[in-house]
Amino acid sequence: MKSVFEFKPKWLRHTGTLLLLIAVVAPLTVLVLRAANSEDQSKPTLRPAMVVLPAGEFNMGSAESEANRDTDELQHRVSITRPFAISQTEVTQGQYQLATGKTAISDCSDGIDVGTGGNLPVVCVSWFDAVEYANAMSRIEGLTEVYEINYSDVNWKKEANGYRLPTEAEWEYAARAGTSTTFVGTDSENAVCEFANVADRTASLKHSDWNSFACDDSHVYLSPVENRRFNAWWLYGFGGNALEWVWDWYGDYDTNDATDPSGPVDGQFRVIRGGSFNFGPRNARVANRGWYVPGARNGSLGFRLSRSCYSSLLPSSPLQDCLKK
């Protein structure tokens, strides 16, 4: 089993025809729902565009034949029973500053300045920073806050209609986007740089000790959040750029809890998922898992938003309510 520091930053069903159509033609439907959620371009963007994903099932984890797999990636069938929204990109430094008033910091790990810019992913944020940002966005948009925060005790109010972190299962479901490839969008190491900002040929010239891909994404550190290709569901950044906090405590997968799982009830570390600008072939795989102390900050670790599309506070169509501000 990997140590906590192996992420090394040297660093249901909803009735109706609409949901049936979503499940059958997911990519097309996701595009249509994204268009319905498009922002007024005349206003400052306070958060990433939200994409509503359909309910569905997928194989979570990695096949035993997958190169570089770890023992905590037991492949199992998971069911996501309700549609949910997830941000098209990682939260940017500009969005984080607009909502919180806090200036982004980019050199919180090993003294490396990984980049500062409004359209770069926010990093150097703890798990607690991320859930507080989600609550701030809920307040800004007049939604019910999802998290009750009492110092280090954070309770998820699942009936609330505001913003939150995705669960680990939701994150992998969105990253895979109906595929089963080793990396986001591809099985080929040579094609990874099309979809993700990873440790690449450019980075290896500056950091020869990094385990790098042979391809080139033209960035050593952080890149703009829409810099690479999107996956099959028009989502950016799952394969690289910044790691992402998710809701779950870290632990072995519970295959007896494979319907809308949200992880162990408690723990010591929160799960982090995704690739990073300093990740090579082993750690940039979709199934790769890591963990970190929730109060810690790291120069390659950020997050993205999610939102439930169902709630006792949302009495009408859950799909439409999920798109409301």
List the domain boundaries for the chain. 17-323
How sure is the predictor about 310, in pLDDT bands with cuts at 50, 70 and 90? low
Looking at per-residue pLDDT, the higher value among 9 and 282 belongs to 282
* CATH code assigned to 17-323: 3.90.1580.10
CA 194 to chain centre: 18
Residue 324 — pLDDT band, cuts 50, 70, 90? Answer: low
113: how many CB neighbours lie within 10 A of its CB?
12
Instruction: Give the number of other Cβ atoms within 10 Å of residue 10's Cβ.
Output: 12
Instruction: Give the 3-state secondary structure of residue 248.
Output: strand
Choose between 11 and 287: higher pLDDT: 287
Handedness of CA 307, 308, 311, 316 (dihedral sign): positive
Q: In which band, very low, low, confident or very high, does the pLDDT at 111 lie, cut at 50, 70 and 90?
A: confident
Do residues 304 and 90 touch, judged by C-beta distance below 8 A?
yes
Q: Is residue 268 within 8 Å of residue 187, measured between CB atoms?
A: no
Q: Is 60 exposed, middle or buried (0-12, 13-18, 19+ CB in 10 A)?
A: buried
Considering only 10-24, 87-101, 230-244, 257-271, which range has the smallest mean pLDDT? 10-24
Separation of alpha carbons 134 and 220, rounded Å: 29
pLDDT at 157 > cutoff 70: yes
**Alpha carbon of 197 to those of 14, 228, 263: distances in Å?**
37, 7, 28
Contact 260, 180 (CB under 8 A): no
Average pLDDT of the residues of the chain: 86
